[in-house]
Structure 1
Amino acid sequence: MRLRDLSPMAAVVGNPEISILLHGAGADLRVMAERELFVVHYFDLEAASRSIFGQHESSLAAMLLRAFQVRLDKSLQRTDWTRRPLPPAMVAYAARDAEMTLALYYWLFEYFPWALNLHDSANLQTPVASWIEPFLRGISPVPPDVAIAEAIEQGVILSRQQVVNDCRNALTTLIYPMQRSRLLRLIADLALTQLTPDIEPLLQARTSDERAAAIRALIRLDAEHSKEKIYPLLQDPVHDVRKAASTALRSNVQKDITGPGLATPAKSADGSRSWTVGETGDAGGADDNDWKARLRSMMGEEPSRQPRTDPDQQ
């Protein structure tokens, strides 16, 4: 294949009425974007398969074996596909992959239409609070506590209750499983124990990613009463969920989840954490409550009042 000008394809992949089928969309979308091809509407069949059967059963080879008892040759998967021209063997390999991806789509459409519907890329556009969105996309440049502090300074967040409400609303409205899983991790990072009752029903979610993410979030939130609801998931049909349940129930989860050198919100008696909005002079001292001081500390501009010994790195 000697074709270098891919611009004729732009009208196809840029048409929202045309569904592009991908298996492992992340890498494919990046490669296509590098060539000025921006996919508007797609289905990620790998993500849909993962939601049904788990991460270790979602590869194209595993799914074709499950659906059609076909063994797919993946020997050229890690070959340099940027070379030109592609040799005939690689062209045949790519054509076979495309053919089988389409066959897998029809199989999923017949037997698991709900999974395809959830992984429609249109569901990625669900609006959420502006400070939450970077975490759903996996592109936040700062940890959650710092993002909260910045949002407070900008007036985006006005109270601790707003943080809880924003996360609760997102948990209600988000559809795409990957985004919901990332939201659960954010809730655990912020130690929003108030949302434990909202998370517990997700232990029975239809997708395995959400069930596993709910387990991890509840254990990190130290929801002791949730353990009883996690035990049945030791018998979950999906390995990822069973592993998450087993690990969670055996682990002694640490409460300090932000890591060395990162700001930690104040902890209340009920286990929840809070952020100071427009208040100063708390008992913890100015440096502990002033987010700007914590940011300076994180960037290496620590006060000279005394040296600090960093804990051992994990």
Structure 2
Amino acid sequence: MNALDPAGLECLAALAEAGSFDGAAQLLHITQSAVSQRLRSLESNVGHVLVVRERPLRLTEPGKVLLRYARQMQVLRADAARELGATLNRDERLPIAVNPNSLATWVLPALDPLVQRGLQEGFGVELIVDDQDFTHDWLRQGEVLGCVSTVAQALRGCACQALGAMRYVAAASPAFVARHLPQGLNRRNFAQLPFVTFNRKDDMQTEWVAKAFGVRDPQLRERFVPSSEAVARAAAMGWGVSVLPELLARPLLASGALLPVLPEVHLDVTLYWHQWKLSGEDGEVSRHGLMDQIGAALLAGARQALHPVPMAGGGDNPAP
């Protein structure tokens, strides 16, 4: 395989970002035929089909491998431009994946100073949202450069560091408690009561019930509300019991909008920051680039907001 054409890699990243040839052409300010030509040249160079040309457009497995490389090249270019004081043709996108509950609580304050600076320096952080057990898949597929995840094992070529433990507590509105829980939540009634849940990927409610009552694979009546803030609001409106991040529940509990349910039972979920180890042309691993700064900002914010975890958590051991 010959040296990879930077223009072709940029084209591949734009296709992944836009999801179409027309959208990629608009991002790169070139014609659609130029996008097709650059992609064909890159595919010819590597000897693989990189993009399945259908609606919606999707990358093949070789395409995902090169997308990881293309994303890393974009960040290295942004780092070089920042150090040289140069202006980029367009804002470099630094995609990271985070879970909804972190986004609703501590991630935005942690990233705010860096994002404000990026407005001036020509780079932007893009937040991709998925369940904390699935954000790691975005990193594996090359869609993002870093992720907040519950996965403790680092991918090969990635670094992993423990951020802290997000604590979850159960709560319900005073009206719901008075009407449905006069004797409290227990093994006999939990299956008859509604639980407010983010979506079908969210298993926090079932994990909490399993811990609280020693029940294996409990079956719950779930009401899905796909927003962390809206889940808390629905619980306060009396839609059911919800297992919420302590950070999100704390002001509602303090105001009396929510009441604790079995406050002696809580779940601590350890979160980890994963990012690709980026190297320059000399092979040296970057230690002060933009992704390192994003990681440092998230680590500092997590240390202020989350519960500590044992030092043994996290590490750089690669996973197959």
TM bin (shorter chain): under 0.3
Give the structure with the higher percent helix: 1
Give TM-score scaled by structure 1 length.
0.25
Give the structure with the higher percent strand: 2
- Structure number with higher relative contact order (C-alpha < 8 Å, ≥ 6 residues apart): 2
Give TM-score scaled by structure 2 length.
0.25
